[in-house]
Structure 1
């Protein structure tokens, strides 16, 4: 019990802000691995990215669980994987109970940090157990809300290119929706769209911002709030191994490698067949949610699972994967205003990595407000930065934000007593 009491604040940093601890989803709602809806029809590969392939009213009472929503829909849409091959994903769209009047609609794309290599941890299913308070807050403002399963059908956790493509195409699908099944009443020509994510959710959001200009240039994004950024996957692995956050590693390794079959096969061959740190234990992460993985792997040196330890990840086939898909800032520069917030003492991702990313973008003409918090760590900053992120999002979605170059400053915001 003492261990779990110490673990819960950390778990909260990766899960959405919810009204209570997660419980099991309703038995009437089938998980993605068992629901035929989670599939793409034959020939979908020839459709354009963002095309709606399937659409349904979300089963059960999801809109009531979340609150402030008149309806919720699941959308299967065409997107593009990390190797620029056709794939598909699912998003959940919430219609506000009291939409903005006239043609002043706003859309918030809210990327939840689900940080798992298990497709059944996808937000479209997990939200039944843990309705995000942030979605309800956004809906109360009259905003439409998009919550994509941005890791795709393989739950490719940390695959940046796929996550960015999937996020952008979820927005495309919603803005173009006008079917006999549902019209979301979003005025694409006049609506403003913003992105928000923390930690794993910021990973997907950031990759969407840097890929947008080349991949989805027609999208007009008003801004993005990015909290607890993890710009360098290698440094995250090196930082969390042997700590209470070690459970992040196997899902991220397997998820990223799933986009590169040669790297995936190589890594599996390198796992030790027996001993206390063996292949079977490592691959158990395939069916774990983040809280389960954190509890199972806490304190372990995750490199001990591999025959050659850390050197395994220096192999050319692995480096190719990481260089293409694991480092932010390699695919473009965000062209919309960014609010980035990070704890200086972040114990999951070194603040220096985010400092370097922001400096890189600022040097290339980006508009960024970057606030480094002197107090708290990764978990605490999700709470400490919450109000500032909402304020920024309201400003850009209301057309009141006046961007002007880059501003970088240290702040002291202490909303929570958590030191993590």
Structure 2
């Protein structure tokens, strides 16, 4: 059996590489460009008076043709919902969620999947990237769509919201959390899916997606207590924006910093109080950086600010005192998880993190879990002792899937637990042979890995062979 499985993996990998090579070689004139960007698409614009609707109300709906990498139809029923959600100041805003329904769907439950699109540009919203013919500028959302295929293959309806809101505000966790919770409300009321009354829900997110999922878990008891939440899965969680900034600044990942600054200064976020501060200290060179961070997707933003130091007075006049400016410090603290006892998840929560994560500090996630557990949360905290940020998202897939299954079944442990995983190799057999082609594509798709992910980056097929 092992040899036949290995052959399946190799055939799937070769086929995928052949397809991507052909697709990348097509002249630009042959590309499918029939999809309007969110800024140009009237579907994204709510009708007048939408502000009076309750959070989570569906404002518009449509069916779409969804496709992997914008080119390969994924063969499942797909819909998009424009729904009402809430800005940081409590005002009404509208954003979109994309809902996928497999042919043999479990109609008493669904997954809310927050993808890590990590951008403050509206063209990078996942609802745009998921459509057939859409350009794949948002590489992370495109790759994580492969993870969504796993949940679909297991029979789950999956909803993936544009949780950053209509302005694509990357960074403000409270806005993202409300965006996730209102997406759940909208999907719950979407009769076309045929879901049962009060369906069970598990929220999932990694890295930037864990900002949204972690804050949804934190705010749900107060903001959306009526939802039938059975669990939360969050990995590589940026629980402390200050800690994350200090780790990635002046590194290969420093481009996330100006993207986040552009995000938290959007009007729907903290623009009213924060934008005047930024405008008073930003230099012309710094403004150029922020302009890129607010208009480009993650890969381009990373390249534009590669190994740059945001504390350099070339970009802003406060230098090292930047994060100590009172308004900036206030906003950073407001977006730190595990600070307020009344913002503790009530549903079972799976938190996982690599000790050598080169983007999100492990210590911050550990502190968050410690606070939550001291306030009687039900948290499973798994430490991955090898591998880096990207590897951990992949190797944790079986654990995440199993936690989701147990959460829906109500069989998760009733207290905080901790365990350490030493391996950095994904075991495809833990998910079943039928999912292996999807996972092979996922490994190949994660081409922008960190230093700690070298074992996966150098020889993805070899990694698979070791498990067979």
Instruction: Please indicate the TM-score interval, normalised by the length of the shorter structure.
Output: 0.7 to 0.9
Residues in 1 aligned to 2:97 and 2:286: alpha-carbon distance in whole angstroms: 35
Q: Which is further off, 199-208 or 330-339?
A: 330-339
**Structure 1 residues 231 and 208: alpha-carbon distance in aligned structure 2, compared to 1, 3 A threshold:** same
1:41 aligns with 2:47: yes
In the TM superposition, residue 329 of structure 1 has moved relative to its aligned partner by: 4.2
Runs of 4+ off more than 4 Å: 19-25, 59-64, 326-329
In the TM superposition, residue 64 of structure 1 has moved relative to its aligned partner by: 8.9
1:110 aligns with 2:113: yes
Residues in 2 aligned to 1:326 and 1:269: alpha-carbon distance in whole angstroms: 25
In the TM superposition, residue 68 of structure 1 has moved relative to its aligned partner by: 5.0
The alignment partner of 2:353 has SS state of strand
1:139 aligns with 2:157: no
Q: For 1:300, which of 287, 291, 308 is the aligned residue?
A: 308
Which residue number corresponds to residue 437 of structure 2?
Answer: none
Residues in 2 aligned to 1:402 and 1:266: alpha-carbon distance in whole angstroms: 46
Residues in 1 aligned to 2:127 and 2:32: alpha-carbon distance in whole angstroms: 13
How is 1:196-345 mapped onto 2 (pairs within 5 angstroms)? 196-258=204-266, 259-260=269-270, 261-273=272-284, 277-304=285-312, 305-330=315-340, 332-345=343-356
The alignment partner of 2:230 has SS state of strand
Q: For 1:67, which of 74, 98, 104 is the aligned residue?
A: 74
Residues in 1 aligned to 2:122 and 2:115: alpha-carbon distance in whole angstroms: 14
The alignment partner of 2:225 has SS state of coil
Aligned residues: CA RMSD: 2.2
In the TM superposition, residue 139 of structure 1 has moved relative to its aligned partner by: 1.2
Assess if the C-alpha contact under 8 Å between 1:92 and 1:124 holds in 2: yes
In the TM superposition, residue 61 of structure 1 has moved relative to its aligned partner by: 5.8
Q: For 1:373, which of 368, 379, 384 is the aligned residue?
A: 384
Residues in 1 aligned to 2:86 and 2:129: alpha-carbon distance in whole angstroms: 23
Q: For 1:184, which of 181, 193, 208 is the aligned residue?
A: 193
1:419 aligns with 2:422: no
In the TM superposition, residue 327 of structure 1 has moved relative to its aligned partner by: 4.3
How is 1:350-365 mapped onto 2 (pairs within 5 angstroms)? 350-365=361-376
Unaligned runs of 5+ in 1: 1-18
**Structure 1 residues 317 and 402: alpha-carbon distance in aligned structure 2, compared to 1, 3 A threshold:** closer
Residues in 1 aligned to 2:278 and 2:197: alpha-carbon distance in whole angstroms: 44
Assess if the C-alpha contact under 8 Å between 1:109 and 1:171 holds in 2: yes
Residues in 1 aligned to 2:234 and 2:47: alpha-carbon distance in whole angstroms: 34
Which residue number corresponds to residue 32 of structure 1?
Answer: 38
In the TM superposition, residue 134 of structure 1 has moved relative to its aligned partner by: 1.5
TM-score for the superposition, normalised by structure 1: 0.87
Q: Deviations over 1:329-376 (max 9, x none)?
A: 436110111111100111112211111100100111111110111101
Residues in 2 aligned to 1:80 and 1:136: alpha-carbon distance in whole angstroms: 29
How is 1:110-189 mapped onto 2 (pairs within 5 angstroms)? 110-128=113-131, 129=136, 130=142, 132-178=145-191, 183-189=192-198
Residues in 1 aligned to 2:339 and 2:263: alpha-carbon distance in whole angstroms: 20
In the TM superposition, residue 269 of structure 1 has moved relative to its aligned partner by: 2.5
Residues in 1 aligned to 2:229 and 2:213: alpha-carbon distance in whole angstroms: 12
Assess if the C-alpha contact under 8 Å between 1:384 and 1:414 holds in 2: yes
Based on CA coordinates, which of the two structures has the bigger radius of gyration? 2
In the TM superposition, residue 409 of structure 1 has moved relative to its aligned partner by: 2.0
